[in-house]
Amino acid sequence: MKKTLWTAIILCLVLGPLVAQDYWTTHIISVEKKQETLKKLSHMDLDFLMEWENKIYIVANFDDFPQLHEENVPYTLETFNFFPFKHTRRRILQGGVNGAYHSYSELEQDLFALEDSYPNLAKVSVIGESLEGRNIYALKISDNVNSDEAEAEVLFTGCHHAREWISVEIPFLLGSYLLENYATDPQVQNLVNQSEIWIVPLVNPDGLYYSIHFYRYWRKNRRNNGDGTYGVDLNRNYGYQWGYDNTGSTPYTFSETYRGPSAFSEPETQAIRDLFAQRNFNALISYHSYSQVILYPWGYTDQPSADDLLLEQIATDMSTRIQSVNGNIYGYMQSGESFYLTNGDTTDWSYGVYGIPSFTIELPPADRLQGQFFNAEEDIQSIFNDNLPAMFYLVDWAVQNSSPPGGSSEEIRRTPGIRLEVKQEFRDERTEKKRRLAQKISIERSARKKSSGPRIKPIGKQNLSQNDPERKQKKKKIFKE
Ligand SMILES: [Zn+2]
């Protein structure tokens, strides 16, 4: 017993400086995937991480342990499997502990390799520097890439959140796909010739480094908050309705959604802000994971934006295109109407300040039990294949809807050269959908009034009010992207 205690103390001393502060309050445990255990877990509010080799992995906080004991759920402590010295087991993976996923330096090499191979089409630039001094890279793709032409500009970003490794790969793969197929694919050629496509695949390089080498589950950047905690949530640090309330972000440094001391306090978000100031972007997608859903502003409120109809139309069109590849369904909705409110995120800012269609795409998996922040290396390519037509669609939309700077369109708003028009057929279709939904709700309501049985709540989001316990439950169950 004494020996165990000493071992524990020595481990603490050796590992202490290495690990994130939340390591000590958060553990990763596994439980056998058995019917009776699952039944017990189903009514506990736990943070499910993934399912692997017949085990369920859970991120457990200290207050989860008494519950597990009370319910007599046997578990294994797995935290140390997520640390680098245990990763030696996995080094057989191509490319080290991160396998087929890019590390910062691998990405750097690959971006420059693309620039070297396609000097007339690809240009890498440094748009900022992270807190720990890593470069934040942008890859610009266009014909005559070295000159600034009056063309539609679209921005694709990835990895605001460190553990969302797949979100680096999807925008990066777009870049390599466009370049590798330019010579042979007329559709690619056409798009690239008419637009300037900007890709910032890794907004949070320090966080990714930490997630790969120290703690897989790390989310924020690596700001030392000065009180023993680390990290600002970069996707809560943008300057539109920053800190609007404490639901969509928090002022607490230890929190996973800590918004930072002020809007744009972080060099990583400043880099994106400054890039916007130099460019004329017409549309944006910010990739995250997980959930398989397309979200559009507003996120800070559940009130619709002035362009709600247009944003919904583009999201619908993108979802349809994704589904057409392999049948995978990405839902779509206004961010603030989904699982939770979010303030200070990229898309509220880019839409709120620049008036451009802006989307957060939460990549697969669809939910926690299908892997949460983990996607198999073999799935990277198919997730990209699914998303490619939606990316093409948005670039094409920007090309079709932008006019040269100085154009006289009355539709021009904050950003010169963008027309925000909704297709008439979409307007009609949506009116019809709303009418059918209203009819359905009214039928259900009258049926409920007549019925003396238990009250059944329709699932439609229109029926979940702020104070509705079902909505609260939904908010609580889904981890913030
Ligand atoms: Zn995210």
Q: Are 448 and 456 in contact (CB under 8 A)?
A: yes
- Of 164, 268, 337, 362, catalytic: 362
Q: Compute the C-alpha angle 82/378/389, nearest 5°.
A: 120
What would the pLDDT profile of 88-104 be if each residue is shown by its tens digit? 333 333 445 788 899 99
- For the chain, give me the number of helices (H) and strands (E)? 13, 12
Q: Residue 354 pLDDT more than 70?
A: yes
From ligand 1's centre to the CA of 83, what distance in Å? 22
CATH topology of domain 11-82: Alpha-Beta Plaits (3.30.70)
Q: Is the pLDDT of residue 56 over 70?
A: yes
So what's the pLDDT on residue 88? 35
Contact assessment for residue 448 and residue 455, using Cβ atoms and an 8 Å cutoff: yes
CATH of 106-401, one of 3.40.50.150, 3.30.70.980, 3.40.630.10, 1.10.940.10: 3.40.630.10
Give me the residues paired with residue 61 across strands. Answer: 26
- Calculate how far, in angstroms, residue 299's C-alpha sits from the geometric centre of ligand 1: 14
363 Cα to the center of ligand 1, angstroms: 9
d(CA 238, CA 376): 31
pLDDT tens-digit readout, 359-377: 999 998 877 666 667 788 8
pLDDT at 66: 76
Q: Is 141 helix (H, G, I), strand (E, B) or coil?
A: strand
**CA–centroid distance for 165 within its chain:** 10
Q: How far is the CA of 134 from the centre of ligand 1 (A)?
A: 20
CA of 110 to the centre of ligand 1 (A): 23
CATH 3.40.630.10 domain range(s) in the chain: 106-401
Q: Is 196 a catalytic residue?
A: no
Q: Rounded to the nearest whole angstrom, what is the distance from the C-alpha of residue 108 to the centroid of ligand 1?
A: 21
What is the model's pLDDT at position 259?
98
CA 231 to centroid of ligand 1, rounded, Å: 14
Measure 220 CA to ligand 1 centroid, in angstroms: 9
Residue 337: other Cβ atoms inside 10 A:
20
Q: How many angstroms separate the CA atoms of 311 and 323, rounded?
A: 18
Q: Does 292 or 44 have the greater pLDDT score?
A: 292
Integer Cα distance of 463 and 391 in angstroms: 32
List every span in the chain annotated with CATH 3.30.70.
11-82
What's the CA-to-centroid distance between 237 and ligand 1, angstroms? 13
Q: How far is the CA of 241 from the centre of ligand 1 (A)?
A: 19
Q: How far is the CA of 412 from the centre of ligand 1 (A)?
A: 31
83 pLDDT more than 70: no
Most confidently predicted of 56-65, 143-152, 469-478: 143-152
Q: Quick one: pLDDT at residue 416?
A: 56
Q: Rounded to the nearest 5 degrees, what angle is found at the Cα of 294, between the Cα atoms of 176 and 158? A: 40
Q: How far is the CA of 89 from the centre of ligand 1 (A)?
A: 28
Task: Tell how far the Cα of 160 is from the centroid of ligand 1, in angstroms.
Answer: 6
Q: Which residue has the higher pLDDT, 455 or 107?
A: 107
Sheet (strand 195-200) strand order: 122-129, 135-141, 195-200, 152-157, 283-289, 358-363, 293-296, 331-334
pLDDT digit string, tens, across residues 373-401 = 778 888 899 999 999 999 999 999 999 99
